[in-house]
Chains A and B, each alone.
Chain A
Amino acid sequence: MSPLHLCLALSAALFCTGLVAVLIRGNAILVLLGVELMLNAANLNFLAFWRFGPGGGEAGLVFVLFSIAVAAAEAAVGMALVIAVHRHLRSIRIADANRLKG
């Protein structure tokens, strides 16, 4: 198994792990952390193709940097939203935030 394959496999596994966290955990904080994990998986793909891919160049690496920065912003806003939801509903169970139901 080549290093590229290994990286892609890890990336896929991490992405699925994050996805499972988002789908089955009831706590909004863990859902957010799962989203972060999925973002990390995507970053890993960028790095893998930067290092072992055909093109060379540096765009993949730089893109990962920006992705991390944006992920940090997303985490900050997300956690603020969690706190706002908690204040509003007295709960951070994501199933309780269902006011838009039909």
Chain B
Amino acid sequence: MTTLLAVLALICLAPAVAAVLVRNLIHSALLFVLAWLGLAAFYLALGAEFVAFAQALVYVGGVSMVALFAVLLTRPGRTDLLPPPSAARAVGGLAAVSLVASMLASSLFWSRLPSMEPTAPIPLRRLGELLAGPYLVAVLLVGLILTVALIGGLLLAAPRRPAEGADA
């Protein structure tokens, strides 16, 4: 179990790190997609099949497409040059690295969390009953949020109408 998870974690983490460092914007976005796919596999190994499929659908199928479209629509040129190094950036990087170090340290070495037996996975039927029962209002609200986001996205991204009186 642990070995499988560790391998999957590496498969997930490596593209993510590469995505941050690589210069080409398209490559970077595609590496992000790879990282999400690895994460979906990780979820699968954890026994959360439904979440894994949701992850794959939403991120690999949806968000990545939106991101690629945004890249194409904005056409920022072939490469995205890293900005020149500056003191502010160095401070930011240092802070981020120290944060990484502290969190890794706390979670791995100083944590006193007991290692428990995994709980039983939830059957899909039960999940459906949960979503249609106690969480029904939340599901409906999420639907509403998605609709509003759709309309809001359209309004934001749609080209402005030419001003009154100007010839179109």
Q: Is B12 an interface residue (CB 8 A)?
A: yes
Chain B nearest CB, measured from A66 CB (Å): 6
* Given A61-B48, A71-B58, A27:B76 Cβ within 8 A: yes
| Contact present for B39 and A83 (CB under 8 Å) | no
Chain B interface, DSSP helix/strand/loop, else mixed: helix
Q: How many residues of B contact A (CB 8 A)?
A: 81
Cβ contacts under 8 Å, A71 to chain B: 58, 63
| Contact present for B153 and A80 (CB under 8 Å) | yes
| Contact present for A29 and B153 (CB under 8 Å) | no
| Contact present for A12 and B51 (CB under 8 Å) | no
| Contact present for B9 and A6 (CB under 8 Å) | yes
Partner of A75, one of B62, B96, B122: B62
Cβ contacts under 8 Å, B42 to chain A: 10, 44
The number of chain A residues touching the other chain, given as a range, is: 35 or more
Chain A interface, DSSP helix/strand/loop, else mixed: helix
Q: Is B29 an interface residue (CB 8 A)?
A: yes
Q: Which residues of A come within 8 Å of B, CB atoms?
A: 1-10, 12-21, 23-27, 29-30, 32-34, 36-37, 40, 43-44, 47-48, 50-54, 56, 58, 61-62, 64-66, 68-77, 79-84, 86-87, 91-93, 95
8 A-B pairs with the lowest CB-CB distances in the bound complex, closest first: A73-B149, A2-B115, A80-B153, A80-B156, A16-B100, A80-B157, A12-B103, A8-B107
